[in-house]
Amino acid sequence: MSVYLDHAATTPMVPEAARVLAEQLARTGNPSSLHASGRAARRTVEEARERLAAALGARPSEVVWTSGGTEADNLAVKGMFWSRRSQDPRRRRLLVSAVEHHAVLDPAFWMAEHAGAELVLLPVDADGVLQVDALREELERHGEQAALISVMWANNEMGALQPLGDVVELARRYGVPVHADAVQAAGQVPVDFGASGLDAMTVTGHKVGGPGGVGALLARRGLDLTPVLHGGGQERGVRSGTLDAPLIASFSVAVDLAVAEQPAFAARVGALRDALVEGVEALVPDAVLRGPRTTAARLPANAHLTFPGCEGDSLLYLLDSAGIEASTGSACQAGVPRPSHVLLAMGVDEVAARGALRFSLGHPSTTDDVEALLAVLPGVVDRARAAGLATVGSVS
Closest residue by Cα to residue 122 from 86, 102, 96, 161: 96
Which stretch of DSSP H or E encloses residue 178? strand 178-181
Ramachandran category for residue 123: left, alpha or beta (phi over 0 → left; psi -120 to 50 → alpha) = beta
**What radius of gyration do the chain's Cα atoms show?**
22
Measure the CA–CA gap between 348 and 260, rounded to whole angstroms: 37
Measure the CA–CA gap between 193 and 186, rounded to whole angstroms: 11
Buried b (16+ CB within 10 A) or exposed e, 280-319: beeebeebeebbbeeeebbbbbbbbbbbebbbbebbbebb
Using alpha carbons, list the distances in angstroms from residue 123 to 111, 128, 343, 394: 20, 9, 12, 38
Torsion on CA atoms 94, 177, 51, 155, rounded to nearest 10: 40
Which stretch of DSSP H or E encloses residue 4? strand 3-4
| Cβ count within 10 A of residue 90 | 13
Indicate if the alpha-carbon torsion angle 255, 290, 195, 65 is positive or negative: negative
Using alpha carbons, list the distances in angstroms from residue 183 to 8, 103, 152, 162, 189: 9, 11, 8, 13, 11
**What would the DSSP string read from start to end of 76-120?**
HHHHHHHHHHHH-TT--EEEEETT--HHHHHHHHHHHHHS--EEE
Catalytic residue among 332, 386, 389, 390: 332
Note if 310 is an active site residue. no
Residues 323, 2: contact at Cβ < 8 Å?
yes
What residues are labeled active site? 332
